[in-house]
């Protein structure tokens, strides 16, 4: 806008300057014409006077002539008027003054008759230029002398030009302000505001929020851009949903394999008890009631265990579209732990949860957070080859819930630290890792306004992931 304002100023001032220059020129021509007309008029007046009273130069006549010149000077605004004889000597002049013979050539031309002639000359001790006009005094077809009219040449023209110059400057400033003000208003309304909206929406998208929509109004191009942006966020949100679901199914697959293995033992036990009970029923039923009761209790307990495992797995695999609710993060850790506990690869893994005095609740969809924690815990168990302790700690950091998940594995190799959150990056054998776990976990956490990072490596310690989520209310420790 400043650039446009400067351009406007320069354009108006240049055009104005050229216009003023042209106007000055035409004023000069007009003034010359006026001087010539004035000289002709005065010469005719003097000619009429001489025609009646004669042109002899007695002192009385000279005084009369000076009085005439004076009154003509006053009524026409001329600076000076002179009557010059055919011998180029001055007969009368107002104001009385001594003239040099600088104008000799022009005077000679005037005395030779013909139309009035004009000439300029600088005034001594003044910057003002004088405009001189000569006209011959013709009495009875004879040139009896000449009249010289002196006019100020530059000052009146310059006064007009100076005034116009000020008007031009004011006009240019007013126009520049108008361009600046109107331009800023238009720019703000039509460009800056929609761009600001787009920038804010993009920033919140970068922070993981795929819900921002921007108003599809304003100028056509911006409306089109806004609509394209909105379509993009919708499609990104759908893709993210899809990826989260895919990754979840991969986890479900892994867990299901573990579950299949895990429910084998209770099923074998149940079958054993059922065989004993059937044999007893087929025989004489000599089994003591207490023993039969015990066998039935064991069948029930094992069945309940299987039921619980299956239920939790089903619960986890169900696509969750829950709205975020205030949730205690450690409860989510416990649910994840319960889901993983029956897995064979968790048999020798201990999960220890610790908390500070208090820690905040977080606004999340619990199912989604379980998915994140299952991922982190499965990775930790894998890194420790199924043996060791995972410490999950929850703390309050300035109103945020900070959950750390530390294992006793080998940690992440330095060359992989930057890559582990990339989709499809995995160091696990084909069929065991999808490489989506961490990237999906991070996108889930970011969609709740949180962050998921790998803590800097500490020699002799395993990997430590730090999950930060904005807190809503403190949970008593």
**Residues in contact with ligand ADP by the rule CB under 6 A:** 375, 379-380, 383, 407, 409, 411-412, 416, 420, 425-428, 433-439, 463
For the chain, count helices (H), then strands (E): 10, 12
Which run of H or of E encompasses 232? helix 220-282
Of 366 and 433, which CB lies nearer to ligand ADP in the complex structure?
433
Q: Whole-number minimum distance, CB 411 to ligand ADP, in Å?
A: 6
Of 233 and 379, which CB lies nearer to ligand ADP in the complex structure?
379
Contact 100, 123 (CB under 8 A): no
Q: Whole-number minimum distance, CB 465 to ligand ADP, in Å?
A: 7
Of 69 and 390, which CB lies nearer to ligand ADP in the complex structure?
390
Of 200 and 428, which CB lies nearer to ligand ADP in the complex structure?
428
Of 92 and 255, which CB lies nearer to ligand ADP in the complex structure?
255
Q: Which residue in the block uniquely carries the two structure tokens 């003239």? A: 99
Helices (H), 283-429: 289-317, 329-340, 366-383
Alpha-carbon distance of 227 to 209, in angstroms, equals 18
Q: Which residue in the block uniquely carries the two structure tokens 């969750």? A: 320
Provide the angle, in degrees to the nearest 10, between the axes of the packed helices 366-383 and 220-282: 70
Provide the angle, in degrees to the nearest 10, between the axes of the packed helices 220-282 and 437-447: 120
Q: Whole-number minimum distance, CB 251 to ligand ADP, in Å?
A: 9
Which run of H or of E encompasses 109? helix 104-111
Running DSSP on this structure, what letter comes out for residue 319?
-
Q: Whole-number minimum distance, CB 412 to ligand ADP, in Å?
A: 4
Of 86 and 388, which CB lies nearer to ligand ADP in the complex structure?
388
| Cα within 13 Å of Cα(190), Cβ side | 9
Q: Whole-number minimum distance, CB 282 to ligand ADP, in Å?
A: 51
Q: Whole-number minimum distance, CB 327 to ligand ADP, in Å?
A: 23
Of 8 and 439, which CB lies nearer to ligand ADP in the complex structure?
439
CA dihedral 319, 321, 327, 329 (to 10 degrees): 40
Of 131 and 420, which CB lies nearer to ligand ADP in the complex structure?
420
In this chain, which residue has its C-beta nearest to ligand ADP?
437
Q: Whole-number minimum distance, CB 403 to ligand ADP, in Å?
A: 14
Which segments of 99-197 are extended strands (E)? 117-122, 129-139, 142-152
Q: Whole-number minimum distance, CB 419 to ligand ADP, in Å?
A: 8
Q: Which residue in the block uniquely carries the two structure tokens 């795929």? A: 210
Alpha-carbon distance of 299 to 273, in angstroms, equals 7
């Amino acid at each position: 806008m400043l650039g446009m304002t400067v351009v406007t100023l320069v354009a108006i001032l240049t055009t104005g300057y050229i216009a003023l220059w042209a106007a000055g020129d035409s004023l000069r021509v007009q003034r010359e014409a006026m001087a010539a007309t004035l000289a002709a008029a005065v010469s005719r007046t003097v000619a009429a006077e001489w025609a009646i009273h004669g042109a002899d130069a007695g002192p009385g006549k000279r005084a009369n002539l000076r009085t005439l010149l004076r009154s003509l000077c006053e009524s026409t605004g001329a600076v000076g008027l002179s009557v010059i004889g055919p011998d180029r000597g001055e007969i009368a002049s107002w104001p009385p003054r001594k003239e040099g013979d600088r104008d000799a050539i022009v005077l000679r031309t005037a005395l030779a008759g013909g139309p009035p002639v004009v000439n300029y000359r600088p005034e001594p001790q003044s910057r003002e230029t004088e405009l001189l006009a000569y006209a011959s005094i013709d009495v009875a077809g004879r040139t009896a002398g000449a009249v010289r009219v002196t006019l100020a040449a530059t000052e009146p023209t310059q006064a007009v030009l100076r005034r116009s110059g000020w008007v031009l400057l004011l006009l240019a400033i007013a126009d520049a302000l108008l361009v600046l003000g109107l331009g800023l208003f238009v720019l703000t309304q039509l460009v800056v505001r929609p761009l600001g909206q787009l920038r804010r929406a993009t920033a919140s998208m970068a922070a993981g929020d795929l819900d921002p929509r921007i108003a599809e109004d304003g100028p056509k191009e911006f409306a089109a851009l806004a609509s394209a942006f909105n379509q993009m966020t919708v499609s990104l949100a759908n893709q993210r949903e899809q990826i989260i679901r895919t990754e979840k199914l991969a986890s479900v697959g892994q867990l299901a394999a573990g579950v299949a293995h895990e429910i084998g033992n209770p099923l074998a036990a149940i079958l054993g008890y059922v065989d004993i009970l059937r044999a007893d029923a087929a025989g004489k039923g000599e089994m003591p009631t207490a023993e039969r009761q015990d066998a039935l209790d064991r069948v029930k307990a094992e069945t309940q265990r299987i039921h619980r495992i299956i239920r939790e797995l089903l619960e986890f695999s169900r696509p969750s579209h829950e709205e975020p609710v205030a949730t205690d993060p450690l409860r989510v850790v416990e649910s994840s732990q319960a889901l993983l506990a029956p897995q064979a690869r968790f048999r020798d893994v201990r999960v220890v949860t610790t908390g500070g005095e208090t820690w905040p609740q977080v606004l999340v969809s619990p199912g989604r957070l379980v998915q994140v924690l299952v991922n982190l815990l499965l990775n930790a168990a894998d890194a420790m080859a199924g043996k060791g302790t995972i410490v999950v700690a929850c703390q309050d950091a300035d109103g945020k819930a900070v959950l750390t998940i530390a294992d006793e594995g080998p940690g992440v190799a330095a060359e992989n630290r930057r890559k582990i959150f990339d989709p499809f990056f995995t160091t696990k054998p084909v069929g065991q890792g999808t490489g989506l776990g961490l990237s999906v976990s991070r996108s889930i956490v970011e969609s709740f306004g949180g962050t998921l990072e790998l803590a800097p490596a500490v020699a002799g310690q395993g990997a430590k992931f730090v999950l930060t989520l904005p807190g809503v209310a403190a949970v008593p420790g």
